[in-house]
Amino acid sequence: PLVMVVDHQRTAIMENAHLVLSAASFAESDGTVINNEGRAQRFFQVYDPAYYDSKTVMLESWRWLHSLHSTLLSREVDWTQLDHVIDAVVAKIPELAGIKDAAPDATFRIRGQKLAREPHRYSGRTAMRANISVHEPRQPQDIDTMFTFSMEGNNQPTAHRSQVPFAWAPGWNSPQAWNKFQDEVGGKLRFGDPGVRLFETSENGLDYFTSVPARFQPQDGKWRIAPYYHLFGSDELSQRAPVFQSRMPQPYIKLNPADAAKLGVNAGTRVSFSYDGNTVTLPVEIAEGLTAGQVGLPMGMSGIAPVLAGAHLEDLKEAQQ
């Protein structure tokens, strides 16, 4: 079978792919996310990679996939803007109709102007590409959103909009400039928070206080994995940066003192367990605050997938030397 990978970073899967298509990252594309509040919020492209390297061939994943699909069906590409994708999603899944109101479409203007991504004081724009050419090319044109890739555009605090890429007002420092965009000092934005709620909770509320999970009960020969998250190391993307790697802890497994005594291991002893056909070996750390019958693992680190949170181990033992 043909293995095709569409991604913005190199992964192990990519090494075995027959075809690799370079996709834009979250900073290089636009889209919609739905947060834990149930609010649909739009995110916007920060910069155009091709502006800094004309050899770059990088598209949003939906552009790649739609182009391939259109080619297979021998038809014209009809998703040329993000708005077309949003319309298609709404038509297919009416429950997500609210995402269309999460932000204005690409035709939005204030007094004929798009919204500026950059403040007027933005400097050094020409110097950014001086190593390539001292002749500054035309700024990239954004066909997907209401923003410009430049300082030219509208940024009036009184303009009727919720999308504010930066806060600037004459005579004010940047933190205090936000006061000009709010209905009162420290209040809400003049024209509402960005995004739109897709659903509301029922009038009866949720059963947080009546549907209480049973208390954890340890079982002999069985351990439940308690997830430990680290600011430096648990994120798949940031852990690739050398500066982050210098702050990452070494992988470990945390044990309650009672469990460590039962297994006959001490801090620093290497123990092993198997999961999904793989054997993992880690040094022990003693954790007084960890409940007996549970083990702590640093989620997201090499060999420790986040899906392990809450899973159970049954073959935990001291590793053979």
> Which pLDDT score is estimated for 33?
95
- Burial (CB < 10 A; 0-12, 13-18, 19+), residue 86, is buried
> Which pLDDT score is estimated for 207?
78
Domain boundaries along the sequence of the chain: 1-103+195-211, 105-194, 223-318
Choose among 40, 36, 59: nearest CA to 49: 59
Q: Does the pLDDT at position 75 exceed 90?
A: yes
Confidence band of 4 (pLDDT split at 50, 70, 90): very high
pLDDT average, residue stretch 63-91: 96
Q: Does the pLDDT at position 321 exceed 80?
A: no
Position with higher pLDDT, 313 vs 171: 313
pLDDT average, residue stretch 282-298: 95
Q: Does the pLDDT at position 208 exceed 80?
A: no
> Which pLDDT score is estimated for 10?
87
Sign of CA dihedral 173, 175, 180, 185: negative
> Phi/psi of residue 58, each to 5°?
-140, 125
Q: Which residues are within 8 A (CB) of 125 and not within 5 positions of it... i.e. 6 or more apart?
A: 136, 150, 151
Considering only 77-81, 82-86, 166-170, which range has the smallest mean pLDDT?
A: 166-170
Q: Which residues are within 8 A (CB) of 86 and not within 5 positions of it... i.e. 6 or more apart?
A: 32, 99, 100
pLDDT average, residue stretch 21-41: 94
Q: CA triplet 280, 286, 292: central angle to 5 degrees? A: 85
pLDDT average, residue stretch 195-203: 80
> Which pLDDT score is estimated for 203?
64
> Phi/psi of residue 190, each to 5°?
-55, -40
> Which pLDDT score is estimated for 11?
84
Whether 80 contacts 60, CB under 8 Å: no
Residue 264, SS3 per DSSP:
coil
Q: Sheet containing 312-313: which strands, arranged edge to edge?
A: 312-313, 223-228, 294-298, 253-255, 278-286, 270-275, 317-318
pLDDT average, residue stretch 8-20: 91
Say how far residue 213 (Cα) sits from the centre of its chain. 30
Position with higher pLDDT, 156 vs 90: 90
Tokens of 88: 């298609």
- Burial (CB < 10 A; 0-12, 13-18, 19+), residue 59, is middle
CATH class name, domain 223-318: mainly beta
Considering only 81-85, 140-144, 189-193, 245-249, which range has the smallest mean pLDDT?
A: 189-193
Tokens of 74: 């021998």
1-103+195-211: CATH number = 3.40.50.740
pLDDT average, residue stretch 181-194: 88
Residue 188, SS3 per DSSP:
coil
> Which pLDDT score is estimated for 183?
87
Residue 294, SS3 per DSSP:
strand
Q: Rounded CA gap, 321 and 318, in Å?
A: 9
Q: Within a 10 A sphere around the Cβ of 282, how many other Cβ atoms? A: 21
Considering only 72-81, 155-164, 202-211, 261-270, which range has the smallest mean pLDDT?
A: 202-211
